[in-house]
Amino acid sequence: MSTVLITGANRGLGLGFCQRYAEAGWQVIACCRNPEAADQLAELKQQYQQVQIYPLDVESFPEIDSLAAHLSHEKIDVLINNAGVYGDNKDRGFGQLDYQAWQQTLTINTMAPVKIAEAFFPQIKRSEKKLIVAISSLMGSIADNSSGGSLFYRSILFAIKNAH
């Protein structure tokens, strides 16, 4: 049986991925910050016994390492880094930026996916498919930055686009 690990699995795309992989007969390792509040994910687990739910706050690198150690015996065919935050506040633009919120956004959206890939690399390396996927959005696209704003969310995009 193939195995997928999905972060941000409690709603939206993450929950949709969990459902589709479970329907296809995959073992699903569903990770989210608050499993006790993830009612739809719990319903999915009741429907498909191969769904496992684990608490994981991707902002906490020690939690990532701990879960990777706990799952060290697994072979993970597909790792989907889906967890993310928007972080920006329209009422706090340039001149009133919340640098703590910006740091959190950078950690969750930029550093955490790399940390997760690094922590679970041994499990991925032992699998057959060996696939790491990072989910973003149209707002994260260099080609579609015509609307501006959202400095926190787009800060990596801004740095890349203005580096040359």
Q: Tens of pLDDT along 90-136? A: 777 778 888 999 899 899 998 999 999 999 999 999 999 999 999 88
| Distant-in-sequence, close-in-space partners of 5: CB < 8 Å, separation ≥ 6 | 29, 31, 71, 76, 78, 79, 80, 120
> What's the CATH number for 3-161?
3.40.50.720
pLDDT tens per residue, range 34-44: 999 999 999 99
Give the three-state DSSP class for 81.
strand
Element (H, E) at 55: strand 51-55
Burial of 132 from C-beta contacts in 10 A (0-12 / 13-18 / 19+): middle
Q: In this structure, which amino acid lies at residue 14?
A: G
- Determine the pLDDT at residue 3: 98
- Determine the pLDDT at residue 61: 98
**Taking Cα atoms as reference points, which of 28, 5, 1 lies closest to residue 117?**
5
